[in-house]
Amino acid sequence: MVKGTPTTLKAKTLEMTVHLHKYVHGRSFKKRAPHAIKAIRQLVTKTLKTQDVRLDTKVNQYVWSHGIRNVPVRIRVRCERKPTEDEDNEGFFTLVKLVPVESFANLQSKKIE
């Protein structure tokens, strides 16, 4: 059995900082914000091992707050892995929410119980 398959996963909450600048560095101006959204999805998929990643509207608004070209350097997000509500689908999905912070100094990724 492959490590991290849906049968071994449990509900989990993780709070982390995503450094968006390294994902959009060198990207053409008109593709920066869409690529930042895709980078958040890819990072959450890799970290929490779920294919279904749902972004809260506030995350989208924060990334797009300065336009398509000027993406914020960092974003603090809370990722909640939950079981799906469908009876026929037994997998998990991840909900990504924005965590407003004053400063990103000395912040670490942490589990939320």
- As beta bridge partners, residue 13 has 80
The number of beta carbons lying within 10 Å of the beta carbon of residue 19 is 12
Beta bridge partners of 111: 14
Q: Name residues whose C-beta falls within 8 Å of residue 106's C-beta, 6 or more positions apart in sequence.
A: none
Cα 61–chain centre separation: 14
State pLDDT tens for residues 31-68: 999 999 999 999 999 999 999 999 999 999 999 999 99
Residue 1 has pLDDT above 50, yes or no: no
Q: Please state the pTM of the whole predicted model.
A: 0.86
